[in-house]
């Protein structure tokens, strides 16, 4: 009787052990850590082969496994670039922000500030296609404003940086684009018989974007809006500014009288206004 109990206990233990062995054999094998230098080498190789997503994965592994290693700082700098090249602009911006916070005295800080602004800039560009079907008044340019501010912050800190000329050029482009967007919204409001709203958009361009090419059209918008609102004295004042500033304006006839304008009625121009930023009407 005792022998039977012993045999039964042995079989139970053996069966339980077999189950444990079978379960453990199904567990994924954990790869051992690579040397820090090898992670960095693999990332560089991926970048050289135009595989930024793979490079970013290797660099994040290095960052996780060797947060204070020899390659931790260059790896974080390369991670910004890899994420940017992979089109992951939000991640590149976040990595740049962390670097600025953690390494405020690093020699490459000008590059990081520049890449932060550039990531916002490219991220905003990539979202344009999502909003083509929205009314101009509903489209958001806040990310372009943010990019402009970040580039301005970069230039204030590093005016002699090698990246400064590109940042300045992008800021000019951003100002022009935002001004053109305001003009497009003004035309949208004219079409919907909302001259007061159109007036405010024209004034926005004149007051806040005075050096952009859109100012001439913005003046014409304010003149048209004042006329629609029966505010003829104000219309005459703005017409005088238009004549003085742009004597050859397309909105003036040969006698320098204002040429009223309105949107074409045969087609909805919303799509063209957006993709051309108001340059096609």
pLDDT digits (tens, 9 = 90+) for 218-260: 999 999 999 999 999 999 999 999 999 999 999 999 999 999 9
Cα separation of 171 and 110, whole Å? Answer: 17
Tokens of 227: 């006329």
CATH number of 87-275: 1.25.40.10
pLDDT digits (tens, 9 = 90+) for 184-211: 999 999 999 999 999 999 999 999 999 9
Torsion-angle region of 193 (φ positive above 0: left; ψ -120 to 50: alpha; else: beta):
left
State the pTM of this model.
Answer: 0.74
Domain ranges of the chain: 36-86, 87-275
DSSP-assigned beta bridge partners for residue 108: none
Cβ-based neighbours of 187, under 8 Å, separated by 6 or more: 136, 198, 221, 263, 269, 273, 278, 281
pLDDT digits (tens, 9 = 90+) for 68-109: 999 999 999 999 999 999 999 999 999 999 999 999 999 999
């Amino acid at each position: 009787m005792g022998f039977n109990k012993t045999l039964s206990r042995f079989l139970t233990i053996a069966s339980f052990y077999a189950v444990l062995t079978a379960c453990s054999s199904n567990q994924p094998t954990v790869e051992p850590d690579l040397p820090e230098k090898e992670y960095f080498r693999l990332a560089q190789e991926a970048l050289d082969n135009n595989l930024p997503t793979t490079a970013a994965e290797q660099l994040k592994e290095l960052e996780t496994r060797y947060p204070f290693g020899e390659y931790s700082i260059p790896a974080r700098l390369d991670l910004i670039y890899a994420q940017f090249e992979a089109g992951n602009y939000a991640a590149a911006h976040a990595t740049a922000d962390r670097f600025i916070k953690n390494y405020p005295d690093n020699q490459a800080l000008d590059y990081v500030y520049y890449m932060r602004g550039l990531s916002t800039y490219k991220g905003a560009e990539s979202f344009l296609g999502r909003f083509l079907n929205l009314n101009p008044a509903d489209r958001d340019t806040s990310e372009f404003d943010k990019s402009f501010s970040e580039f301005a912050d970069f230039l204030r800190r590093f005016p002699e940086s090698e990246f400064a000329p590109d940042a300045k050029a992008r800021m000019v482009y951003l100002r022009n684009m935002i001004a053109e967007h305001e003009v497009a919204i003004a035309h949208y409001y004219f079409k919907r018989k909302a001259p007061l709203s159109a007036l405010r958009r024209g004034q926005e361009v004149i007051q806040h974007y005075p050096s952009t090419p859109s100012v001439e059209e913005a003046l014409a918008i304010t003149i048209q809006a004042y006329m629609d609102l029966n505010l003829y004295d104000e219309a005459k004042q703005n017409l005088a500014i238009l004549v003085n500033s742009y004597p050859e304006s397309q909105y003036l006839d040969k006698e320098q009288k204002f040429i009223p304008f309105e949107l074409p009625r045969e087609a909805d121009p919303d799509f063209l206004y957006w993709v051309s930023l108001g340059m096609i009407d």
